[in-house]
Amino acid sequence: MAEVFDAHRHLGVLPAFPFYGGPPVRPDIGARATVRQLLADLDAEGTGRALVLPNYGVPDPALAFSFNDLCIEAAATDDRIRCGLWVSPCQADEPLTARALGLAGEPGVRALKLSFLLGGRATDPECRPLLDRIFASAELHDLVVHIHTSPGGNSDIDEVGHLVDRYADRVPVHLVHFGGGASGHIKLAGHRFLDWVAAGKRVYTDLSWAIGFAARWLTAEITRRGIGHDRLLFASDEPWGDHPGEYARMRAAVRDGELADLVFRKTFEKLYG
């Protein structure tokens, strides 16, 4: 497998949690607790560069915030690694977000990570002050804002899209998972994503977690409309994703050539340095 650059993976081990009323479990069985373990994974995969973000999923934001320092350590340890910092739009998390934003200028930091899975909503007026601070910090430090998307609820592209409309003229926004499921894929590939590109929005995406048709359709639309070639990145989402599977899906969709070079390497270089 040719060397690839991974634009979205996680670091840090979460405790077991009783998801959905079941017994405590740890679904992210490939989670890594140390930088050494992360580097071993990159070596085994042939991953040449990676953007590393705090692991999350257990509904305790403090856990995600606690991995910010580990991600900064990873970026300081090996030049293949850039990192993102966990931030939150929720007023209850303001002290932790303020500390995270205070680290935004550290060497190797290239992104701020938002996920409404742990609270908040893009259109909630109570979240607006911290969202403004987060995006202002990203603009000041030339960072990308990573935003989780998944169908329905607070992470649906109908909600998250308001952040693209509001901020992506000034700040690059990476929409993780391209909507995260059938409805999100259809909304985005059907017109919204490339309409944003055509309108000059600094919007990017990856197809981790994407279901069958999404990669083929999006790449076909990129070719048909002649825009967006430089807005799609490869991402594994390890340990929640599966690196070999994600790679195989993207390679089948983009094959070889200019688009593949952009997806697997060049757009990462431009966006994350």
Interatomic CA distance for residues 43 and 59, integer angstroms: 31
Would you say residue 273 has pLDDT above 90?
Answer: no
Mean pLDDT of 69-85: 98
Domains (ranges, CATH) in the chain? 4-11+30-272 (3.20.20.140)
Would you say residue 1 has pLDDT above 80?
Answer: no
pLDDT one-digit tens code per residue, 187-230: 999 999 999 999 999 999 999 999 999 999 999 999 999 999 99
Question: What are the residue ranges of helices labelled H in the chain?
Answer: 35-45, 61-66, 68-77, 94-102, 128-141, 157-167, 182-187, 193-198, 213-225, 243-254, 258-261, 267-272
Token pair of 182 as six digits: 């059938």
pLDDT at residue 2 in the model: 66
144-148/81-86 β-pairing: unpaired
pLDDT one-digit tens code per residue, 133-184: 999 999 999 999 999 999 999 999 999 999 999 999 999 999 999 999 999 9
Strand partners, 144: 111
Task: Let me know: does 167 contact 135? Beta carbons within 8 Å.
Answer: yes
pLDDT at residue 3 in the model: 86
Interatomic CA distance for residues 14 and 30, integer angstroms: 11
Mean pLDDT of 87-101: 98
Q: Round the average pLDDT of the chain to a whole number and report it.
A: 97
- How wide is the angle at C-alpha 234 spanned by C-alphas 230 and 238, nearest 5°? 150
pTM of this prediction? 0.97
What is the layout of strands, in order, in the sheet containing 4-11? 4-11, 47-54, 81-86, 109-114, 144-148, 173-176, 203-206, 232-233
**Residue 225: other Cβ atoms inside 10 A:** 14
